Amino acid sequence: MFRGRLLLLLAFAIPVVLVSLVGVGGYVAFTKARVDPLTTADAIVVLGGEHDGREAYGISLAQQGLAKTVVLSDPYGSSDPTMKKACASSTTEFEVLCIPPTPSTTRGEAMFTEELARERGWNHVIVVTWRYHLPRARYIFDQCFDGTVTMRPTPRAYDFSLVEWEFTYLYQIAGFVKAGVQGSCQDAASD
């Protein structure tokens, strides 16, 4: 009888503890992720994701004189109205490049950034993405980009439920595991 109650208690306690650990750990690691101070850079790289103002934010950083080039990751296709508008935003002060990543992942975005950096002599980029994506994006860019990276979140609030936050944290953790397994982009290029 005691053993049955103990097993029942553990059956409830273990999932609660795991969910709590993911929630608290995710909040600290992802929701409160470190944001780098803004400095001038060679380019601003806006990662793909939802159209949450990130394209406009990246372009506004260039308008403030932080870089002469804005690179917008464009996995959306040619009919996307937000990207059509953003990709046509070049001025005499800065250029806007729209590039589809291959593969269509953060790793693909880091790889095209490294390629552009070699071609154009870039040493420093500002990367714009979701706040909770900053740690994983930083890790992947460290694997694939040889220069300095300043990580900046899209300025917005996230109105997620607790379940959505748990899913988001688990997704980011899985992405870290995948990036760790994939290893350095230079290792992949030499295969």
What's the pLDDT band for 158 if we cut at 50, 70, 90?
confident
Residue of 147, 173, 145, 26 whose CA lies nearest to 181: 173
49: left (phi over 0), alpha (psi -120 to 50) or beta: left
Spell out the residues 6+ positions from residue 45 whose beta carbon is closer than 8 angstroms to its own: 58, 71, 73, 109, 113, 125, 126, 127, 128
Residue of 48, 76, 23 whose CA lies nearest to 154: 48
Rounded to an integer, what distance in angstroms lies between the CA atom of residue 15 and that of residue 158?
A: 25
Q: pLDDT tens for residues 166-184? A: 899 999 999 999 999 998 8
pLDDT attached to residue 191: 40
Name the pTM for this structure. Answer: 0.88
Rounded to an integer, what distance in angstroms lies between the CA atom of residue 8 and that of residue 190?
A: 52
pLDDT attached to residue 13: 64
Q: pLDDT tens for residues 118-144? A: 999 999 999 999 999 999 999 999 999
Q: Alpha helices of 51-97 — where are they, by DSSP H?
A: 54-63, 81-87
Q: Residue 99 corresponds to which amino acid?
A: I
